[in-house]
Homo-oligomer: A and B are copies of this chain.
Amino acid sequence: MQVVDLIQTKRDNGELTQEEIDSFLQAFVKGEVPDSQTSALLMAIYFNGLTDRELLNWTESESRLSRQVNLSDLPGPKIGLQSTGGVGNKTRLIVGPLVAAAGVTVPMIVGRRLAYTGGSLDKIESVPGFKTQMTAQEFKALLQTAGCGLIGTSDELAPADKKLRPLCNTTATAENVPLIVASALSKEIAEGTDGFVMDVKTGSGALTPKITDARRLAQMAVSVGKRLDKKVVALITDMDQPLGNAVGHALEIMEAIETMRGSGPEDLVELCLELSSRMVCLAYPDRTMESAKDQLFKLLNDGTALQKFRRMVEAQG
């Protein structure tokens, strides 16, 4: 495989074969491809996109490069949450413990920030001593103890995503719809979930400011998820204004805690309940959104979610 030929194919709007994508990503993760070539390929993909087949192959190749957390012997459903991020977005910190409080295991392997949006990882690391690097085994033990967990991508877990993100951020290629989908799906495969809810942000603070791009992203996630046997629900949510009142890692953690004490800002509470109830309905297809939302509202306000959050923080050091 000559990487320059792959770049040229994509530049000229051709289709990459499964073998080409696979050998590229393998070589990339091993550090054998110069960053200059990877970023040229990313920019060509930005302009010409990926075909359905390429996207499926890209996602599967990314997944094969990652160790999979085997959650099959853990009781109950396992549901993930993916978000395209956005300024002031701290939903993951609330939704994870909240859904876990409703009896669903919520594994969250997350990357650093993409472009100007803050990543959940950067936020949670403002908690002193919080451990975000774990092996697949340690992560499984964490989920067994706490019901949810939030760790970073590593050389073992989603290594392609870990290496791609910093490159995307410095080369203006983060806003790359098919690659955002591939990244989300490959992390869900690594986490061993049954399905996940994808929160697609749109508006001025989001990776996909245009609603058409957000819709395209949502549809792609659902259709590729289906082909990979993942139940996917995608929501498009507004990010024209920062979510809640706090922007900045430590402040956002505090606001998340406030929310789990029952006194969060309205927009944040609403979004968290919406996402959580979708996750609970994915986990238990017989439940209605109304009953799920009622239950989650209680769990958020009676301190159960905060207790789960505390257990997660304790279990992660």
A-to-B contact residues, CB < 8 Å: 3-5, 7-8, 11, 34-40, 42-44, 46-47, 167, 169-173
Which residues from B are CB-within-8-Å of A47?
43, 47
Alpha-carbon distance between A43 and B172 when the two chains are bound, in angstroms: 11
A8 touches B170 (CB 8 A): no
The answer, among B5, B11, B35, B44, for a CB contact under 8 Å with A36, is: B35
Which residues from B are CB-within-8-Å of A169?
4
Given contacts A40-B40, A40-B43, contact A172 B7 (CB under 8 A): yes
Oligomeric state, in copies: 2
Which residues from B are CB-within-8-Å of A171?
4, 7, 36-37, 40
**Which B residue sits closest to A3, measured CB to CB?**
B170
Alpha-carbon distance between A167 and B34 when the two chains are bound, in angstroms: 11
Alpha-carbon distance between A35 and B34 when the two chains are bound, in angstroms: 9
Q: Is the interface of A mostly helix, strand, loop or mixed?
A: helix
What would be 29 A-B contacts, judged by CB atoms less than 8 Å apart? A3-B170, A4-B170, A4-B171, A4-B172, A5-B172, A7-B171, A8-B172, A11-B43, A11-B46, A11-B172, A34-B35, A36-B36, A36-B39, A36-B170, A36-B171, A37-B39, A37-B171, A39-B39, A39-B40, A39-B43, A40-B40, A40-B42, A40-B43, A40-B171, A40-B172, A43-B43, A43-B44, A43-B47, A44-B172
Alpha-carbon distance between A34 and B42 when the two chains are bound, in angstroms: 15
B170 touches A37 (CB 8 A): yes
**Which B residue sits closest to A167, measured CB to CB?**
B36
**Which B residue sits closest to A12, measured CB to CB?**
B172
**Which B residue sits closest to A42, measured CB to CB?**
B40
Which residues from B are CB-within-8-Å of A11?
43, 46, 172
**Which B residue sits closest to A11, measured CB to CB?**
B172
Given contacts A34-B35, A35-B34, A35-B35, contact A40 B173 (CB under 8 A): yes
Alpha-carbon distance between A266 and B114 when the two chains are bound, in angstroms: 59
Q: State how many angstroms separate the Cβ of A307 from the closest Cβ of chain B.
A: 42
Alpha-carbon distance between A41 and B239 when the two chains are bound, in angstroms: 28
Alpha-carbon distance between A160 and B47 when the two chains are bound, in angstroms: 26
15 further contact pairs, Cβ within 8 A, besides A34-B170, A36-B167: A4-B169, A4-B172, A7-B171, A34-B35, A35-B35, A36-B170, A37-B39, A37-B170, A40-B40, A40-B43, A40-B171, A40-B172, A43-B43, A43-B44, A43-B47
Alpha-carbon distance between A172 and B9 when the two chains are bound, in angstroms: 9
Which residues from B are CB-within-8-Å of A36?
35-36, 38-39, 167, 170-171
Q: Which 7 A-B pairs have the closest CB atoms?
A: A40-B171, A35-B36, A43-B43, A7-B172, A8-B172, A36-B39, A39-B40
Alpha-carbon distance between A11 and B42 when the two chains are bound, in angstroms: 12
Alpha-carbon distance between A171 and B37 when the two chains are bound, in angstroms: 5
Which residues from B are CB-within-8-Å of A44?
43, 172
Alpha-carbon distance between A169 and B5 when the two chains are bound, in angstroms: 11
